[in-house]
Amino acid sequence: MCRIRFFNVQEIDHEYGYCYGYNKVSKNLILGNRKKLKNSNGMVFGVPGSGKSFQKKMEMGQVLCFSNDDIVVIDPMSEYKGIAEKWNGQYINLSQSAENVFYINPFHVPEHVPDKDRFIAEKAEFAYAICEQALKPADLTSRHIAVIDRAIRHMYDEYFKTYEGTKPRRRSKLACPTIRLMREYLQEHEMDNESARELIDQLEVFTDGTLDIFAREQSTSEENRFTVYGFSELGKRMRAMAMLVMIESITSKIKYNQSSGIATWVYVDEIHELWGDEYSLHAIERMWREVRKRGGICTGMSQNLVDALRNRATKTIVSNSEFMMILDQGVMDREILSELFTVSNEQINCVNGAEPGTGLIRFSDKIVPFSNKVASDNGLYKLFNTNFHEMVGNGG
Ligand SMILES: Nc1ncnc2c1ncn2[C@@H]1O[C@H](COP(=O)(O)OP(=O)(O)O)[C@@H](O)[C@H]1O
Ligand SMILES: [Mg+2]
């Protein structure tokens, strides 16, 4: 039970704020504008079923209604399909089945590349991550990295050379580098190198056959303000790869399209799936850091705050997120949380065993106990609900 009488009254009441429920101390509405924060990125923590996705769906609805901003959701559990349909969004299901019609090429070159050297260096970095995934459980070594560097540099140098020599109106038709092309380069030029041969072997499943969805030319998609990438049908190995590819292509989208002056809200559900892997973690850290100045507003949803604080890199992500929602945490230590910000025992009581849709909300230095519960006969509840028994009318 959350005892609230010991709280100092703090209000979150920004101009053009979205509604995040009501303040349990003052009973006023919480109207917060994440764009007003120094760093708009955010995290939502809570045990499964505590209402993380529900809270974020409420925010997404407001972004769509009250702004011109775009939303991209990474949806590993395929639970945003209904919302995408209802809100005229685009649901892209990345699947290994033959019916799949949508391909994302992480090596795709956008129309406008302001700094080629930096672009190539970033793609090399990304290629390490992909190869690390492909090699697992074996490790990526400095020898592999040297091989990958050569391949990436060669592919992009060739591409940009051809690009320069092509008439401008034909340039958009040029074939971009792909993972498949990288493997072919290794086959042609590096067969006497043992590390290269390992990469060639391990990359095969990702370039030929059912796991090749990231190894082809990019599909063009119609512009839509609300895009959801679902990949619940992908196997475990492919999921980590999919997360990486998604983050890479979303970062590019934000970066290279910022000129239109539109902010992009990026939601990564079940972000902890990425945290165990060094390169995925690095990719997220980079996205969190880089997109801020380019109109990106990232939100991660994860289960356990304490786990996130144990690792240096995840801790950096958390402490760089000025927006935070902490929902039910089971039982959490005050000491651990107080490393991050000042909290009282009463505030901790609001997140230990909290009901779904209640907890603590933080906007920069303000931390407020909130409730944002929606009645079960409300239309939004029906749309956002993930409780299987309730959905099938089984008395849940
Ligand atoms: N704000 C809320 N108001 C009412 N019920 C909620 C709220 N948030 C969550 N719930 C209930 O909890 C269930 C699980 O919520 P969900 O967001 O899917 O959890 P999580 O993403 O943390 O696993 C929902 O289906 C709903 O029944
Ligand atoms: Mg969820």
The residue ranges of DSSP E strands in 225-384, in sequence order, are: 226-230, 264-268, 296-302, 323-326, 358-363, 366-371
Quick one: which of 168, 152, 97, 161 has its CA closest to 119? Answer: 152
Ligand nearest to the CA of 372: 1
**Which tokens sit at 334?**
């005050």
CA of 371 to the centre of ligand 1 (A): 12
Mean of per-residue pLDDT scores for the chain: 88
What are the sequence ranges of the domains in the chain?
18-89+226-391, 116-213
Q: Is the CB of 304 within 6 Å of ligand 1?
A: no
Could you give the CA distance from residue 57 to residue 210 in angstroms, rounded to a whole number? 32
Radius of gyration of the chain (CA): 22
How many helices and strands, by DSSP H and E, does the chain display? 15, 11
Task: State the distance from the centre of ligand 2 to the C-alpha of 48, rounded, in angstroms.
Answer: 7
Tens digits of residue pLDDT in 197-230: 999 999 998 888 767 888 988 887 667 899 998 8
- Residue, of 308 and 5, whose pLDDT is higher: 308
C-beta of 42 in contact with ligand 1 (< 6 A)? no
- CB 213 within 8 Å of CB 100: yes
Highest mean pLDDT among 63-67, 108-112, 351-355: 63-67
Cα dist. 180→127, 211, 387 in Å? 12, 12, 41
Cα–Cα–Cα angle for 238, 232, 70, rounded to 5 degrees: 100
Q: Is the CB of 374 under 6 A from ligand 1?
A: yes
Instruction: Report the Cα–Cα distance between both ends of the chain, in Å, rounded.
Output: 23
Q: Is 73 helix (H, G, I), strand (E, B) or coil?
A: strand
Confidence of residue 396 (pLDDT cuts 50, 70, 90): very low
Q: How many CB atoms lie within 10 A of CB 321?
A: 20
Eight-class DSSP state of 13: B
Q: pLDDT tens digit string along 334-366?
A: 777 777 777 788 888 888 889 999 999 999 989
Extract the tokens encoding 273: 């799936």
Find the ligand nearest to 54 CA.
Answer: 1
Q: How far is the CA of 269 from the centre of ligand 2 (A)?
A: 7
In 10 A of CB 202, how many CB atoms?
A: 17
Any idea which ligand is nearest the CA of 371?
Answer: 1
Could you tell me if 91 and 285 are in contact, meaning their C-beta atoms sit under 8 angstroms apart?
Answer: no
CATH 3.40.30.10 fits 18-89+226-391, yes or no: no
Residue bearing tokens 């590096």: 190
